């Protein structure tokens, strides 16, 4: 049995579409109650647990760090302890925001973490707790998630692109857009492999290729969607936000590919799939 925490988020929706999972929404288990998360694992006795739920309001977390840390830190830690106790394999989705965004080289999973905002600190707390629990697990750090569901950059660009002829988009933040569908497929594959090979426990990176800027990602969205919206490059300093964003979100995926034979997904192909789904909805 595969137990998924989360039901309405982007990755959780894609996991349910793949089938073979039991998804728990907030009405069933509230991540603000870590003990309830552990109890759910003990009750269901799953073989694999996928944590696809999180506090993701990056800017709001600056004023709400305690709640973000409860959901992103304490809850995954409780899940990991229950998984270690019951023998379940845990797959947990984390973020590039655990790094400070310095330099231009892709971040390796073993690179030193140094989050520059509250959201990143809360997600790092979850990683630390999972590792300390000592059970079979894979932490999958990913970035720039998009899909046909929920709130994300692709859907925002489609809305704004339909309203405006020109948009100013940040061009000095570089990363790998990653489709929720690719993340869901990887979570299942990694979880199933961990059941057979617990020795593959560890932290891995999953991000779309090729690395790009938000501005160039927006251009690709407009071209693929047939919109004539022009994009003006601006620096991060021209678009201030409550939470600082890392400039370098490039992630090195090589250990994931080597260990689990999971290829790095091409976000351009996944973008076309998402746009077709949105158009058909």
What does the DSSP 8-state code read for residue 97?
Answer: G
Buried b vs exposed e over 143-169: b needs ≥16 C-beta within 10 Å? bbbbbbbbebbbbebbeebeeeeebeb
Q: Quick one: three-class SS letters along 226-252?
A: CCCCEEEEECHHHCCCCCCCCCEECEC
- Please state the length of the chain: 281
Kindly write down the DSSP assignment for every residue of 98-120, as one continuous string: GS---SSSPBPTTSPP--SSHHH
What span, in angstroms and rounded, lies between the C-alpha atoms of 20 and 8? 17
- Selecting among 55, 97, 119, 204, the annotated active-site residue is 119
Active site residue 119: yes
Q: Which residues of 228-243 are buried (b: 16+ CB within 10 A; e: fewer)?
A: ebebeebebeeeeeeb
Q: Are 54 and 35 in contact (CB under 8 A)?
A: no
Give yes or no for a contact between 182 and 206, defined as CB atoms under 8 angstroms apart. yes
Neighbours of 227 (CB within 10 A): 16
Q: Please list the active-site residues.
A: 119
């Amino acid at each position: 049995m595969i137990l998924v925490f989360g039901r309405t988020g982007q990755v959780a929706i894609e996991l349910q579409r793949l089938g073979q999972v039991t998804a728990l929404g907030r009405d069933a288990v509230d991540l603000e109650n870590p003990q309830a998360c552990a109890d759910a694992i003990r009750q269901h006795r799953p073989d694999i647990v996928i944590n696809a739920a999180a506090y993701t309001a990056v800017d709001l977390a600056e004023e709400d760090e305690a709640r973000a840390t409860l959901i992103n830190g304490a809850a995954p830690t409780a899940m990991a302890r229950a998984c270690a106790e019951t023998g379940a394999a845990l797959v947990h989705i984390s973020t590039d925001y655990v790094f400070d965004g310095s330099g231009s080289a892709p971040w390796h999973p073993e690179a030193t973490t140094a989050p520059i905002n509250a959201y990143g600190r809360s997600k790092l707390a979850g990683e630390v707790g999972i590792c300390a629990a000592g059970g079979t697990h894979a932490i999958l750090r990913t970035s720039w998630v998009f899909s046909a569901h929920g709130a994300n950059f692709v859907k925002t660009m489609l809305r704004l692109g339909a309203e405006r002829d020109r948009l100013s988009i940040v061009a000095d933040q570089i990363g790998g857009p990653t489709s929720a569908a690719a993340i869901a497929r990887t979570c299942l594959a990694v979880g199933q492999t961990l059941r057979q090979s617990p020795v593959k426990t560890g932290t891995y990176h999953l991000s779309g290729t090729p690395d790009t800027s938000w501005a160039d990602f927006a251009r690709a969205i407009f071209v693929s969607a047939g919109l004539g919206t022009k994009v003006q490059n601006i620096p991060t300093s021209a678009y201030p936000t409550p939470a600082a964003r890392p400039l370098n979100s490039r992630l090195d995926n090589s250990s994931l590919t080597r260990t689990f034979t999971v290829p790095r997904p091409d976000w351009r192909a996944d973008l076309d799939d998402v746009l077709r789904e949105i158009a058909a909805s």
